[in-house]
Amino acid sequence: MSKTSSNHLRTRITAALAVAGVALGASAALAQAPISRDALIKAAKAEGKLMLYSSSGETQSKTVLGAFEAEFGIAGSWLRLTTIPLIQRMSAEIEGKDVQADVVSVSTTVPFIEHPEWFVKMTKEYAENLPKWPTRWVSPNYISWTADNFYLAYNTDQIPVGTHPKTYAELADPKWKGKILLTDPRVADNYFGWLDGLEKARGADFLRKIAALNATLTPSGASGAQMIAAGAFAINFPTFQDFSAALIEKKAPIALFAITEPTLVSERVIAALANSPHPNAARLFMDWIMSENGIKAACKNKTVAVVADPEGKFGCVIVKDPEPITYILTEERKKQLVKDMGLAN
C-alpha cells in the first residue's frame, strides 16, 4: 500500500486553502447585480465561453456542458482533476489573481466553508431558479447538486455478473484477498467520508477485515476503472458510476453494483467563482442547472442522482434510504480510520 500519510495529504489540502484573503472583484459584483433573463442570456452569449473545474468523471462534464451549449450557444470547456489537485490549482490561480475557472464542482464542502469569499453568493436575485431547489441542499455560496452512490466495479471476465459481492459483509470475504483495488480514502474528503460512514455502520473490526484482504491502492476512481477493465484486478471500490460509463458503453469487461448495508452517498456541490473570466456565463449556467432542462442534462447518461429529482422523474438515478457522508473530520478521527484500514505509516 502507498505510504502517503493522512497527515501529509491533509497538509496539502490545507496549504492549498491557506492563501491570502480574496475580495469579491468587479466581475463578481456585476454578475450579482439585478438583471433580466434576456439581458443575462445576451451578456453570457457575448462572453461566449464557460470553464468548469470538476472532480467528476469527464462523461458527466461533457454531457452537461454539451446540453448547455446546445441551448445557449455558449461553448463549454472543462478541467478534470481529483479533488486535492483541483483545489490546489484553483487556490493558486486565486492567489495569483489569474482565475481561470467560472464554475467549480467537487465532492467536498471544505473550500466553501473555509473561504466563502472565493465564491459568488447564492441568492434568488443571482439565480431565479434557486427558490425551486430543495432548501436543505442550498448553502450561502454553493448548492448541493448530486448525491452519488458509492459503487464497486468488477471485471466480468473474472467475476460473472450476479456472483459479485452485494454487501460490504460479502466484500470482506477472504476469497477476495489479493484481488481488490482500493481507492485510497485519503485522497479526497468524500472518500474519507465513506470510510467514516462505513466504520460507523459496521465498526472498526470490519475495517480490519478489509485491511486483511491486502488491497492495492489506486489514487482515483478513474484510474481504478481503467485497471479493472484491463483485468489487472477483480474488484475496485469505492467508486462512482461516471468513472466507468464510457468503458461500459464500449463493451469493456467491467460492471458496477451499488453496494449496500450501508447505502452511503456523496453529495457533489457546485458554485460560481468570484472574479471568474466569464461571470455572466457562470451565472446563467448556475441558474440553468437548477432548471428542468439542466436536471435532465445531468441525468442524461444515467449515472447520477440529482437532489432535486429524488423520484427519478427526469431520468435520474433513484437512491433509496441514503446515508449522506460527513465531509469534515478531525485529524484524530482520520488517524484512527487509516490505522484501522492498515494505511498508517
Q: Give the domain CATH number at 173.
A: 3.40.190.10
Whether 135 is in a domain gets the answer: yes
pLDDT at 253 over 80: yes
The answer to whether residue 282 is domain-embedded is yes
1 in a domain, yes or no? no
Predicted pLDDT at 10 = 45
Tell me the C-alpha distance between 344 and 38, whole Å.
55
Q: Is the pLDDT score of 210 beyond 90?
A: yes
C-alpha cell at 82: 481529483
Q: In the predicted model, what is the mean pLDDT of residues 205-209?
A: 95
**227 and 119 fall within a common domain:** no
Q: Is the pLDDT of residue 43 over 80?
A: yes
Residue 269 dihedral angles phi and psi, to the nearest 5°: -105, 160
Q: What is the per-residue pLDDT across 123-161, written as a single tens digit (0 to 9) for each?
A: 999 999 999 999 989 999 999 998 888 999 999 999 998
Instruction: Please state the rounded mean pLDDT for residues 243-248.
Output: 90
Q: Which of 27-31, 108-112, 231-235 has the lowest mean pLDDT?
A: 27-31
Give the chain's domain count: 2
User: Across the chain, what does the average pLDDT equal?
Assistant: 88
77 lies in the same domain as 163: no
Whether residue 244 is found in the same domain as residue 156: yes
Chain segment 1-40, per-residue pLDDT in tens: 333 333 444 444 555 555 434 333 444 444 567 789 999 9
Q: Are residues 141 and 281 in the same domain?
A: yes
Which pLDDT band holds residue 345 (cuts at 50, 70, 90)? Answer: low
Mean pLDDT, residues 312-340 taken together = 87
* Residue 319 reports pLDDT greater than 70: yes
- Please indicate, yes or no, whether residues 141 and 285 belong to a single structural domain of this protein: yes
192 and 65, same structural domain?
Answer: no
Give yes or no for residue 195 having a pLDDT over 70: yes
Instruction: Tell me the pairing of strands 216-218 and 180-183.
Output: parallel
186-213 average pLDDT score: 93
Residue appearing with cell numbers 456585476? 30
Pair 136, 158 in one domain: no
Does residue 215 belong to any structural domain of this protein?
Answer: yes
Mean pLDDT computed over 211-218: 94
Domain that holds residue 309: 6-147+267-317
Within a domain: 310? yes
Is 288 contained in some domain? yes
Where residue 317 falls among pLDDT bands split at 50, 70, 90?
confident
231 with 137, same domain?
no
Q: Domain check: are 202 and 66 in the same one? A: no
Do 26 and 118 belong to one domain?
yes
Q: What is the pLDDT of residue 56?
A: 85
Residue 209 pLDDT level (bands cut at 50, 70, 90): very high
Q: Indicate whether 63 and 179 sit together in one domain.
A: no
Let me know if residue 345 belongs to a domain.
no
Task: Say which range, 23-32, 162-171, 233-242, 289-298, has the weakest mean pLDDT.
Answer: 23-32
Q: How far is CA 38 from CA 41, 43, 100, 284, 320, in A?
A: 5, 9, 26, 11, 39
Q: Are residues 106 and 14 in the same domain?
A: yes
Asked if the structure places residue 74 within a domain, the reply is: yes
Assessment of whether the complete model's pTM goes beyond 0.85: no
